[in-house]
Amino acid sequence: MKEILGFDEVIRHDNECSATKTIPAAAVFFEGHYPKNPIYPGVLQLELAVSAAKLFLESMGYTDTAIKYIKKFRYVKKASPGQIATIKLKYVKDVEQGQEIDAAMLVEGERISYGTFVIGKKLEEPLEQFIYETKTQKIAMRYAEIGEYAPHRFPFAHIDGIIELIPGKTIKALKNVSSNDYVFWGEKPGTPFPPSLMIEVFAQGAGIVCDFSGLPLLGVLAGVNFLGNAYPGDQMIVDAYVVKSISGKTILAGGIKVGDHEIFSVENVICGEL
């Protein structure tokens, strides 16, 4: 993740911060994220904003932080390999969970994504809470078959199996967290699966249940809670259901569990298609 999240320049002025980043044209995830139509993943736009916000807050004296809640985050334009992105941040206020931040990502002066999220103290779990009881899941569709329904490929394909699927209504899918996942390359042992990529895991499941004819794209996130962590060896179970479909867009909600522990929930995800 280091090549993804490093910045060319970070400038802080009072309660505001600006960070620039050249989107790496050779980043490994482009090989699997819409291979014939490379787009900078929406969740990595968010992860970039969160990473900049953590540096920003560290300069204000807040340490050991992580994203806790997404009030709302909207994607309005695409970003491509090689472009220079600018992250604009503004500290809004202290809230119960941490510090509320307004963020926007710009490319060539145009805003491509923006929203508000909360950064708070990193979740500290005792080791025994990392060990969840595993359950044998009956698989209705395995990885090789999923490629017929989802555009993502290695290393950015995050759905390993589908347990239940009713197109246009609901999906239960699984993601096996492995230390071989590219997100752990170069990271120290004990590093959790990145919270922003929980959104990607959920969104890939959501894209399958939407049953679009084109490429599924994230539009809006709202009411996102990060409630726990996942580690190599864990199995994430995604439950997503369609709330309604209107004007070519689908609104979904749901969550992710590891064992019986809910680690992620979202009130609204709006998906469209390219």
Strand partners, 216: 273
Domain with 44 in it: 2-121
Sort residue 67 into left (φ over 0), alpha (ψ -120 to 50) or beta. beta
Do 103 and 23 lie in one domain? The reply is: yes
Do 257 and 234 lie in one domain? The reply is: yes
Degrees, nearest 5: CA angle 150-4-147: 10
Whether 145 is covered by a domain: the verdict is: yes
Whether 128 is covered by a domain: the verdict is: no
Average pLDDT over residues 54-58: 95
Whether 43 is covered by a domain: the verdict is: yes
Do 170 and 105 lie in one domain? The reply is: no
Whether 209 is covered by a domain: the verdict is: yes
pLDDT of residue 76: 92
The structure tokens listed for 162 are: 């589908």
Tell me what the pLDDT averaged over the chain comes to: 86
Residue 41 clears pLDDT 90, i.e. is over it: no
User: What is the Rg, in whole angstroms, of the alpha carbon atoms belonging to the chain?
Assistant: 18
Do 218 and 186 lie in one domain? The reply is: yes
Do 71 and 116 lie in one domain? The reply is: yes
Do 255 and 154 lie in one domain? The reply is: yes
Total number of domains constituting the chain? 2
Residue 190 clears pLDDT 70, i.e. is over it: yes
Residue 4 clears pLDDT 60, i.e. is over it: no
Residue 248 clears pLDDT 70, i.e. is over it: yes
Sort residue 219 into left (φ over 0), alpha (ψ -120 to 50) or beta. alpha
The structure tokens listed for 89 are: 């941040």
The structure tokens listed for 144 are: 């090789």
What CATH number should be reported for the domain holding residue 198?
3.10.129.10
Whether 70 is covered by a domain: the verdict is: yes
Whether 101 is covered by a domain: the verdict is: yes
Whether 126 is covered by a domain: the verdict is: no
Do 195 and 245 lie in one domain? The reply is: yes
Q: What percentage of the chain carries pLDDT values higher than 70?
A: 86
Q: Report which residue type is found at 156.
A: F
Do 152 and 85 lie in one domain? The reply is: no
Whether 130 is covered by a domain: the verdict is: no
- Chain segment 132-141, per-residue pLDDT in tens: 444 545 557 7
Looking at 1-5, 101-105, 149-153, 228-232, which range is the least confident one?
A: 1-5
- Chain segment 65-123, per-residue pLDDT in tens: 999 999 999 999 888 888 999 999 999 999 999 999 999 999 989 999 999 999 999 87
- Chain segment 127-186, per-residue pLDDT in tens: 444 444 445 455 577 666 777 777 777 777 889 989 998 888 999 999 999 988 878 887
Q: Of 92, 121, 150, which residue sits at a domain end?
A: 121
Do 116 and 85 lie in one domain? The reply is: yes
Q: Of 121, 144, 172, which residue sits at a domain end?
A: 121
Q: Report which residue type is found at 274.
A: L
CA distances from 80 to 26, 38, 139 (A): 11, 7, 36
Do 240 and 198 lie in one domain? The reply is: yes
Do 139 and 116 lie in one domain? The reply is: no
Question: Beta strands 141-142 and 161-166: pairing type?
Answer: antiparallel
Looking at 157-161, 199-203, 260-264, which range is the least confident one?
A: 157-161
Do 226 and 110 lie in one domain? The reply is: no
CA distances from 237 to 163, 252, 261 (A): 9, 16, 10
